[in-house]
Structure 1
Amino acid sequence: MSANDLPSLLSVALLARVGPARERLREALGQAGATLVLEEDPNTLELQVLRDAAPGAVLIALEPAIEDALERLDPVLGSPSLTLIFDEAELAARREGWEAQRWARHLVAKLHGHLDVLPPGSEQDGLLQPEPGLPTTPAQLHADAPLDFHVREAFDAAGDVPADGLYQAPDTLSEPMSLEEALAALQPPFSTPAAPSGPPPVPVSAPQTEPPRVPLGDHSSWSLVDDDAVAAVAPPPSATPSAAPPPSDFDIARLSLVDLEAERPADGAAAGAVLVLAGIGGPDALRRLLATLPAGLATPVLVHMRLDGGRYGNLVKQMARVSALPVLLAEAAEPVQAGNAYILPDDVGLAVRDRGLYFSADAQGVQVGTLPPSESAVVLLSGADAGQVDAVLALAGEGAWVAGQVGEGCYDPTAANAVVAAGMHAGEPPQLAQHIVERWGVSE
């Protein structure tokens, strides 16, 4: 693909406080070939100056010190025609070397609107000319591969392989030996009892005449009772049992299906929810997750991500720009309703009443074990608290769906890697969002 075929690079405004983070982001924009039309501290930037710069995209270094400024600049930043790219100032300040180059490639992909984030040299030929003949097989590709090293390595390690005790080679085993001979050598010896030479002895007291046959008659009234009881209640031999009336046909015309599930609360409280745990590096992953979830999701999404200063109202506004789901701030005593995404402050937890979820005032925050396992899921994104891994895995053992973020965008994968190593689902945020949609669906 030629350079003329690529979409033109966007003009970018860089909003960041003076410091290492701003310098790193400026270098990344230079590597991406972007046109920098404005570089200012958002705390001192005037709204009209940002509007006059007319950028196509705005790159913002997020930190608690600029949250009020972003709210003041929201009339311009909230424009649907403007592309917003967020990065955490703490991560940007310490990003260098290979990690800085990787982030620059992701920035190029976002500005150009494509998904190619591979380094140079990974391109594939666009046009492949057909050639006669069969394609090269894998065996042909490895025909000249040296095997001596692997054979010697396997021979040296053979003595260290632990034995399971199920197979014990006989001392007299020699090669070559057929499979039948090997199996026979492993069988324990056994002796066969000698057959009697004559007919079996007949007891003297045993009767030699065949007992008379007794007709069984009608057995519809038989029952399993003690012999003494039979003797007490048995009818005389001359009595003839009456035949039982044949059973009538079973009438299934009046059968109906009855809903055995208990009624839901009248306020629409959901029976379960998808809990998303995140931390450092989590805002970008959370944006990618929410941007993939469709409107009308048949389960609520709860987001718990600790923020310095507790500016959860600003996080609601940021996520509402990319989410098709309504993004709300969780409040105590309110029901948790499907089709919404809730941002949970540190002092809001969960409670179950009448088989429905409700927000509650809790100084310890949300407790993973409160979620009903069969109706819920937990997703661990970058920076999730590793101290909650045990509780998450315990919930998974009771039937909850659990997944962890993997990939290059996961800056702090400690907790996510722990659940993935335990056998839970893994993927990047858009992939995890697709699994959520497939599992819960969309309400009509």
Structure 2
Amino acid sequence: MNQDTVAEAATRVALLARKGVACERLQAALKDAGADVVLVSDPSQTDAAGVRNAGAQAILIALEPAVEDALDRYDALLADPTITVIFDEADLAAQREGWDAARWSRHLAAKLNRHEQVLPPGAELEAALAAMAPPPPRYERPEHDGDISAVVVEADLHALELPRDLDVTPRVHPSSMFDPVAAEMDSFELADIPAFGELVLEGDASPTADDAPAGERFRRDLDDLQLRIADMQLEDAPPPRPAVQAGAVLVLAGIGGPDAVRQLLAELPAGFPRAVLIQQRLEGGRHDKLVRQMQRATPMPVALAEAGMALQPAHVYVLPAEFGLEAGSDGQVFRAAEGTSTGDALLAQLPAGDSAVLLLSGSDVGAVDAAMNHSQKGALVAGQSADGCFDATAPEAAVARGAQAGTPAQLAKMLASRWPS
């Protein structure tokens, strides 16, 4: 393939970044990824028309506080489904060197060319060799057509490996023991038992003088009992069971997390039937600007959590670190607490069987215990796969303990499969 063919096949990219180390390193990453950089500009110095005129097929934006307000002018362009939009944190881009920079270039190439090949050169051969390895032997259940001799022979062979000090005394459940009293009761006929309140008198059907007081006393007791039953109050009935509380998806992220969260939300359907809670650790607590960024990625409403705000399905909420949940008259509501809200406190308010916990890049490793405890109660717990994850410490710790793993797009598919819209 000649150079002209490569140039024609390269994705045309516009880089929107302020001048500085981050901009230079992102240009180098795009070059290593094989992209054709058609525009490099400060977001505040150009507009959507300038990007379109450059013929860009993809846009790479270096996010930092100084350019947040300028991004509003690009809303229509960023919502264009024909253009690939990639966000990166300017602070992270300026710090990438060596292996981290090479890994970012591979993932950048995968995003621009819409494939999932992010392994370094040579890894394909290792994966192919692993696939060619013979599978471990496994026990096959023998087939038989009425002749169980083969099963018996194999059972005898396995029996030789069993320990000899096992207590094999048969255990008899008390309910299976013979009970002569119960047996005698079973022999009674229902017809032999008089109806309740019926007096069975031998001889004359009318009570004698000696029997009258006892019969009258019985009837008085019966009448009194009927009056007491009729006078019972409704409050003696057990209270109605409360309605089942709907769960939510808790997304935990930190450094490198905003891009992963955007990818996750972009793949969730508009009618996703559960609330999505995002606890993204940010320097300086710029959660209001994070709301605007996330709203560009999803058609679901995105809001900043406020005290007393009720949790609604098919909504995305950005939670500052000090926010938690509590039960309200209309379901779960947000509450502001002193200090930082831990994973335990948040998860304690969500029904495990109807909730999920996702640990993305940079999430707090201290939340892994709470997430896995929630998993044992029925919650879906998953971590972002290491490929493409800037800080995979917490996700890898969760996966090592049994959590599922996947890219943000794959995690979104897991959620959509569990809760179809």
1:435 maps to which of 394, 414, 419: 414
> How many angstroms apart in 1 are the aligned matches of 2:19 and 2:305?
34
Matches within 5 A, 1:255-334: 262-263=242-243, 271-334=246-309
Amino acid across the alignment from 1:338: P
Counterparts of 1:378 and 1:184, CA distance in 2: 42
Question: CA distance change for structure 1 residues 320 and 6 in 2, over 3 Å: closer, same or farther?
Answer: farther
Distance 2:186 2:275 in 1: 68
What is the CA distance between 1:304 and its match in structure 2? 1.0
Residue 64 of structure 1 contacts residue 308 of structure 1 at CA under 8 Å; is this kept in 2?
Answer: no
- Equivalent residue runs for 1:23-102 within 5 Å: 23-45=24-46, 49-50=50-51, 52-74=53-75, 76-102=77-103
> Could you tell which deviates more after superposition, 281-290 or 55-64?
55-64
Task: State the SS of the aligned residue for 1:336.
Answer: coil
Partner of 2:319: 344
Matched, 1:390 2:369: yes
| Counterpart residue number, 1:219 | 188
Provide the secondary structure at the position in 2 that maps to 1:432.
Answer: helix
C-alpha displacement at 1:289, in angstroms? 1.4
Q: Greater CA deviation, 391-400 or 54-63?
A: 391-400
* Residues 110/392 of structure 1: CA separation in 2 closer, same or farther (3 Å cut): closer
1:406 and 1:121 map into 2 onto residues whose CA distance is 20
1:378: how far off?
Answer: 1.3
Query: Is the Cα–Cα contact under 8 Å of residues 278 and 306 in structure 1 kept in the other structure?
Result: yes
Q: Which residue of 1 aligns with 2:401?
A: 422
Query: Does the alignment pair 1:109 with 2:78?
Result: no
CA displacement at 1:277 relative to structure 2: 0.5
**2:223: which partner in 1?**
none
Whole-angstrom distance in 2 between the partners of 1:83 and 1:185: 63
Q: Equivalent residue of 1:280, what SS?
A: coil
Q: Cα distance, 1:47 vs. partner?
A: 6.6
RMSD over aligned CA atoms reads 4.1
Check whether the contact 2:75–2:296 (CA below 8 A) recurs between aligned residues: no
Q: Deviations over 1:267-296 (max 9, x none)?
A: xxx622111010111112112211222121
- Secondary structure at the aligned position of 2:87 is classed as strand
CA gap of 1:2–1:333, structure 2 versus 1, over 3 A, is: farther
The DSSP-based 3-state class of the residue aligned with 2:43 is: coil
Deviation at 1:27, TM superposition (A): 0.8
**TM-score of the superposed pair, with normalisation by structure 2:** 0.65
CA distance in 2, matches of 1:15, 1:305: 24
Q: Show the counterpart of 2:205.
A: none
After TM superposition, the structure 1 stretch with the greater mean CA deviation from structure 2, 309-318 or 1-10, is: 1-10
- SS of 2:85's partner is strand
Provide closer, same or farther for how the CA distance between residues 298 and 330 of structure 1 changes in structure 2, counting only shifts above 3 A. Answer: same
Secondary structure of the 2:68 match is helix
Q: Please, which of 376, 381, 387 is the counterpart of residue 360 of structure 2?
A: 381
Deviation at 1:187, TM superposition (A): 7.8
SS in 2 for 1:419: helix
Instruction: Decide which of 328, 347, 350 is 1:353's aligned counterpart.
Output: 328
The SS at the match of 2:269 is coil
Establish whether residue 403 from structure 1 lines up as the match of residue 377 from structure 2.
no
d(CA) in 1 for partners of 2:378, 2:34: 49
Q: 1:16 to 1:399 in 2, by over 3 A?
A: same
The CA deviation at 1:302 is 0.8
The answer to whether the Cα contact below 8 Å between 1:275 and 1:377 also exists between their aligned partners in 2 is yes
Identity %: 48
Q: How far does residue 85 in structure 1 lie from its aligned partner after superposition?
A: 1.1
- Cα–Cα, structure 1 residues 217 and 54, in superposed 2: closer, same or farther, change >3 Å? closer
Letter of the structure 1 residue corresponding to residue 401 of structure 2: A
Counterparts of 1:1-20 in structure 2, within 5 Å, are: 8-20=9-21
Looking at structure 1, the residues matched to 359 and 78 of structure 2 have their Cα atoms a distance apart, in angstroms, of: 29
Partner of residue 227, structure 2: none
State the alpha-carbon separation in 1 of the partners of residues 163 and 12 from structure 2.
Answer: 81
**Counterpart of 2:9 in 1: which secondary structure?**
coil
- What is the one-letter code of the residue matched to 1:334? M
- How many residues align? The count is 328
Q: How many Å separate the matches in 1 of 2:296 and 2:92?
A: 23
**Segment drifting more, 57-66 vs 21-30:** 57-66
SS of alignment partner, residue 388 of structure 2: coil
Residue 181 of structure 2: aligned partner: none
* Structure (1 or 2) with the larger CA radius of gyration: 1
Structure 1 pair 72–310 and aligned structure 2 pair: CA distance change class (3 A) = farther
| Structure with the bigger percentage of helix | 2
Q: CA separation in 1, counterparts of 2:157 and 2:286? A: 73
Shift in CA distance, 328/138, structure 1 to aligned 2, threshold 3 Å: closer
Deviation at 1:382, TM superposition (A): 0.8
Task: Summarize the Cα distance change of 1:40–1:333 in structure 2 as closer, same or farther, 3 Å threshold.
Answer: same
Helix, strand or coil for the counterpart of 1:276?
A: strand
Give how far 1:59 is off.
1.1
- What is the DSSP-based 3-state SS (H/G/I as helix, E as strand, rest coil) of the residue aligned with 2:375? helix
Per the TM alignment, residue 54 of structure 1 is displaced from its structure 2 partner at its CA by 4.5
Deviations 1:357-408 (A, max 9, x none): 1222334455323223232221111111223233333333443332222221
TM-score by length of 1: 0.62
What is the identity, as a one-letter code, of the residue corresponding to 1:409?
A: G
